Amino acid sequence: MKDMNDIHGNLIGGEWLPGEDVRPNVNPSDTRDIVGHYASAGLTAVDEAVEAARSAFPAWSAAGPQVRHDLLDAVGTELLARKDEIGRLLAREEGKTLPEAIGETVRAGQVFKFFAGEALRLTGDSQQSVRPGIDVTVTREPVGVVALITPWNFPIAIPAWKIAPALAYGNCVVLKPAELTPGCAHVIAQLLHKHGCPAGVFNLVMGPGKVVGDALVSHLGIDAVSFTGSAATGERIAATCGKLRRKVQLEMGGKNPMVVMDDADLQTAVQACLNGAFFSTGQRCTASSRLIVQKGIHDAFVDVLGREMQALRVGDALQADSQIGPVVDQHQLESNLFYIELARSEAAEVIGGQRLERDKPGFYQAPALFLGTTNSARISREEIFGPCASVIRVEDFDEALTVANDTAFGLSAGICTTSLRHGTEFRRRVEAGMVMVNLPTAGVDYHVPFGGRKASSFGPREQGRYAAEFYTVMKTAYQSA
């Protein structure tokens, strides 16, 4: 039995509370290393967290923008100041390399600071009525109590880009982070608590999604749900929210295309694909998983990309020379290896993709390239969420665009080309929420909308000032003198 002092508790109504169970947070680079022990909440704790948030809502929604600005700004400042230490925790619990993890922590700090400013900038409209003697105003009000459900792959940035706008616009929050990576979410909870977030305004409940997440999403005290994760869970949450007529925002998977035209600069294309497909161990919803390559550049591109991919150093996330960290856990590793076998059975030539042994027990896998495959193969249609990419050869721009759009998803899409016409046409005609020209499909700014189309996303966009669409509701008021 663990000593309670060693256990990171749930934050409910301003108090750190034990849960019904305790879960070790395991380092995927070295499974002997336990990052910490985290309490799993039970159903009663979910009730208490929602109740605490409901009780805190009247005062917080009326607190005004200065208070919200100051809280978010203080959290952002501390995240930036402690980026190395928190980045280290992130690399240990999720497995992305230390520079990637520090970069993600900086991003979380920037997001908090951005929404600190947005709290002060929320505007409305004042219009003349079509009827004489009447004033019309259109204002935004907080939605109420929002449930935030987050995945393991960006354990600090995704909680940050949901929590910060929720609080900036006057909502109260119950956050359920992924069970695999509760550590970074717990740090944000600690910082909010430390910098004076009133009791109940922000609550953290950790534990399994199928129990804690499910209870939270269907709780009658919740007004809105923002979710990032798999399509299957997203669909389930959408069904529950539809039945309860509850506002919902979903960010789900991708099968993002990167087109490489004959007129591309070869090095630009190779670097964009290496980064987009394999960095962060391919565990990004915006990862380039379909490389759609025109026939003239195909062989040279595959030759250079294959060599550079095989030269990438896979190792412990904290090791200075690692370029790719481990896969997040055994389950995800087995899923990746399943798809690599599937690629072989679908007649693709596979470069790399083997299980790797290191001097410590971890979930190491070489990145994989599937050559000679088609867009109809399962490996080109299903999200793998690992360091694996299909290469699909095409004749010309029109075929490249058709293949790029022939997918259930529509999150991010890229093209490498030196032709203004190809770049412009692609930007106009590709069916994706985000388009990159001569840049990797992954890697976005924090002050502009993030989100996709088709099966990738549902509901209003996240991030930037557009986040107000989800985290506020409109009120139109008519007043006669």
Residues found near ligand NDP in the complex (CB under 6 A): 149-153, 176, 178-180, 208-210, 213-214, 217, 228-230, 233, 236-237, 252-253, 285, 332, 383, 385
In the bound state with ligand NDP, the residue whose beta carbon lies nearer, of 294 and 463, is 463
Distance CA 193, CA 10 (A): 12
What's the min distance (Å) between Cβ of 198 and ligand NDP?
Answer: 25
Which of residues 228 and 280 has its CB atom nearest to ligand NDP in the complex?
Answer: 228
Catalytic site includes residue 251: yes
442 three-state secondary structure:
coil
Nearer to ligand NDP, 270 or 413 (CB): 413
Residue closer to ligand NDP (CB basis): 204 or 416: 204
Judge whether 285 counts as a catalytic residue: yes
The smaller minimum CB distance to ligand NDP, of residues 170 and 433, is found at 433
Return the H-helix or E-strand segment holding 75: helix 65-81
Instruction: Name the residue number minimizing CB distance to ligand NDP.
Output: 209
For residue 308, with 0-12 CB atoms within 10 Å meaning exposed, 13-18 middle and 19 or more buried, which class applies? middle
Count Cβ neighbours within 10 Å for each residue of 168-196 and write b for 16 or more, e otherwise. bbbbbbbbbbbbbbbbbbbbbbbbbbebe
Q: How far is the CB of 344 from ligand NDP (least distance, A)?
A: 20
Quick one: three-class SS letters along 335-377?
Answer: HHHHHHHHHHHCCCEEEECCEECCCCCCCEECCEEEECCCCCC
- Smallest gap from residue 181 Cβ to ligand NDP (A): 8
Alpha-carbon 186 to chain mean position: 17
Strand 412-416 and strand 409-410: the pairing is unpaired
Q: How far is the CB of 150 from ligand NDP (least distance, A)?
A: 6
Please state the closest distance from residue 126 (CB atom) to ligand NDP, in A: 39
Q: How far is the CB of 85 from ligand NDP (least distance, A)?
A: 24
Alpha-carbon distances of 54 from 143, 145, 146, 306, 308, rounded to whole Å: 12, 6, 10, 54, 53
Tokens matching residue 29 = 């680079």
Select 121 or 331, whichever has its Cβ closest to ligand NDP.
Answer: 331
Classified as helix, coil or strand, 318 is coil
Report DSSP letters for 18-55, one per residue. Answer: --SEEEEEE-TT-TT-EEEEEEEP-HHHHHHHHHHHHH
Distance between CA atoms of residues 227 and 234, nearest Å: 7
Which listed residue (94, 118, 179, 251) is catalytic? 251
Angle at 397 between CA 391 and CA 401, to 5 degrees: 70
Shortest Cβ 254–ligand NDP spacing (Å): 6
CB closer to ligand NDP, 47 vs 73: 47
Neighbours of 130 (CB within 10 A): 7
Q: Which of 184, 273, 285, 388 is catalytic?
A: 285
Pairwise CA distance, residues 393 & 399, whole Å: 10
Catalytic residues: 251, 285
